[in-house]
Amino acid sequence: MGRIAGVTAAETRERLLRAAADVFAQRGYDGTRVADIAATAGVSNGALYAHFGSKAELLVAALREHGRRLLADLFAGDPDRSVAESLVAAGRRLPRRRDARGHLLVEALVAARRDADVAGPMRDYVGERADYIGELVRVAQARGELDRALSPDAFAHFCLLLAMGSALVTPDLHQVDDEEWTALLTRVVTALAPADLTSPRRATQ
């Protein structure tokens, strides 16, 4: 199996990323061979290595692509929604994560603790996510949605802890009522709004 006839290099890469996300999620990082991913994608090992230099590189690339799609879908769904509302919407999804590819993050985090080849790319990946969230916070601060005294870096770290924790505490281990969870998230985000938006006097006007 070489490159599939009529399929572009970009399409082959996308097939490999989808296959990698599925196989890693099902078999784990240590239990997955490069040949398993190539076979699932319908290409040769050589075609795989033409796009990715190692299993570790493919793991983080699959995670990065999957994470980017989730974020893009969220904000594309309602571009007029405020950043604060979007953060609540993103948080609402966390306890309901049931997609098998959600396990991909767990596999990457565990592998990063044992494998230096995974650790480096994972630091880059986590840094990218933190930068993305931090920029959202800055946009919200510029719009007056969030308190300017709030540290974008600290808030990004808080969000990363929630997101990565949700990959470990899955619904089969513990569930939370959706309305109660949404109410909590709303209170947290509201508490981070500028003081003049949350003061009792402003609330009664």
Residues 37-92 pLDDT 10s:
999 999 999 999 999 999 999 999 998 887 666 666 666 667 778 888 888 888 89
pLDDT tens-place string over residues 77-102: 677 788 888 888 888 988 876 666 67
Output the six-digit token pair for 62. 């699959």
**Residue 147 contacts by C-beta under 8 Å, 6 or more apart in sequence?**
141, 192, 193, 194, 195
Instruction: Please name each of the domains of the chain with its CATH number.
Output: 1-53 (1.10.10.60), 54-203 (1.10.357.10)
| Cβ partners under 8 Å of residue 188, min gap 6 | none
**Cα–Cα dist 33/128, whole Å:** 27
